[in-house]
Amino acid sequence: MTPEAATRLTRFYDGTLLPDEMIEVMTTDQGWFPSRTIRRGGVVRDFAGYPGGLPPIRIDDQGRVFDLYDYLTTNAIAGLVILKRGQMVFQTCQRGIGVETLWHSCSLAKSIAATLVGVALKEGAIRSLDDPVSRYVAVEGGYRAVTLRQLLRMNSGIRWNEDYVDPASDRRQLLAVQSRWQPGGILGFMKDLPAATPPGGAWTYNTGESYLVGAVMEAATGVSLADYLSDRIWSRAGMAMDARWWSEAPDGLTISGSGMNACLGDYARFGQFVLEGGRIGDEHLLPDGWLDEAGAPYRIGDRMVPYGYMWWVPELPDPILAGSFQAEGIYGQYIHVNPAEELVVVVASARSKPGYRRRLEINDDAFFAAVARALREA
């Protein structure tokens, strides 16, 4: 990595990129990490237009009322796709991107990687989610007692600080390890981290654990996670474009918790694949009941954790969002899936800071609820 690239990478995590720089980072290879190609197949899945398109929407957010155009502008939206019953309700590309632009997914990749665990479980490459992580990869310290299910739910109990803008955080230390392009570096950093609680005793968002999921998958399947995604889903689900996925070295571990780049429509196709229960043609790639667990909150003591198998659960208490779940990434990336409303919404944004607590914007869950309600009432 060049010094210029390293500086921009640091500024990306610090939230100090100018708006045009942010668009450039989200749409072009910055030379930060090597990547593998995720190959598409020969047939593209097109979506017929939804009758009537998108009706006017009313976004109610903390006593304020907004419309679609407020949301697009205020939340720095670069791309938006809305599917209802597998039909195209609305699609727009803004801020200089197009339908063939490969957009950086950030942590949307976590939800994709976790879904691949379900595929491997159905195939038998993963024996059980209650297997210890140590069955597949060599780990020490607190991770010796952690199961794959606990890894997917990020309730391992391992001590971790995810703060993106804190140079001393575990997340930033892991980023420094990634920047060395060293085979085995990520697993070496993660494998013997200490426990803060017994496994299952606490929930802490931990990007490093999503990387361990990739290590488990590559050990279990014998191929890179990027190749597994291509072979099982990307080449068969009608994707329009090849995608890319970062790795820690040219032949190293896929960085499964971030660094996937795909076009807007293909994120929507992946969301539709999930909405349809992981079905391609007549084949069901996911185990029975997988999404009932993967997209559902769970309880630790008196707390309901709004997180499934690396899918977030909307916290806005709106009945129309009941049963919905979503992939989320820093700077405002979403694949929102609402099974009851047969709705998929993809949002690609270039916001000012990685974490929403440091930004001023319209609540995304309120937007998803407004879309669902407008289409139900139309």
Higher pLDDT, 128 or 190: 128
Closest CA to 160 of 186, 194, 188, 210: 194
- Average confidence (pLDDT) over 183-193: 90
Asked if 247 and 36 count as a contact pair (C-beta separation under 8 A), the reply is: yes
- Whether 359 has a pLDDT exceeding 80, the answer reads no
Going by C-alpha positions, the residue among 82, 91, 65 that lies closest to residue 378 is: 82
pLDDT of amino acid 348: 98
What's the average model confidence in pLDDT over 62-73? 96
Q: How many CB atoms lie within 10 A of CB 289?
A: 9
Please give the share of the chain, as a percent, with pLDDT higher than 90: 90
* pLDDT at 274 exceeding the cut of 80: yes
pLDDT of the residue at 164: 81
Q: Stretch 354-362: mean pLDDT, rounded?
A: 81
DSSP symbols for 297-335: -EEETTEEESBSSS-B---S--GGGTT-EEEEETTTEEE
Using alpha carbons, list the distances in angstroms from residue 131 to 22, 120, 254.
40, 13, 22
The whole-angstrom separation of Cα 272 and Cα 327 is 13
DSSP letters, 69-118, are: HHHHHHTTEEEEEEEETTEEEEEEE-TT--TT-EEE-TTHHHHHHHHHHH
Of 198, 196, 176, the closest CA to residue 186 belongs to 176
pLDDT band at residue 199, thresholds of 50, 70 and 90?
Answer: very high
Structure tokens belonging to residue 298: 């769970």
What is the mean predicted confidence (pLDDT) over 86-99?
97
The answer for residues whose C-beta is within 8 angstroms of residue 294's C-beta and 6 or more apart is 114, 115, 118, 152, 308, 309, 310, 311, 325
Average pLDDT over residues 200-216: 94
Sign for the pseudo-dihedral over CA of 24, 25, 27, 29:
positive
Backbone phi, then psi, for 247, in 5-degree steps?
A: -135, 160
Residues 133-157 as b or e (16 or more Cβ within 10 Å = b) = bbebbebeebbebbbbbbbbbbbbb
pLDDT tens digit sequence for 16-57:
999 999 999 999 999 999 999 999 999 999 999 999 999 999
The yes-or-no verdict on residue 360 having pLDDT over 90 is no
What 3-state class would DSSP assign to 345?
A: strand
CA distances from 351 to 25, 47, 313, 328 (A): 12, 29, 21, 13
Report, as an integer, the average pLDDT of 171-200: 91
Cα gap 373→354, rounded to integer Å: 29
Count CB neighbours of 232 within 10 A.
Answer: 20
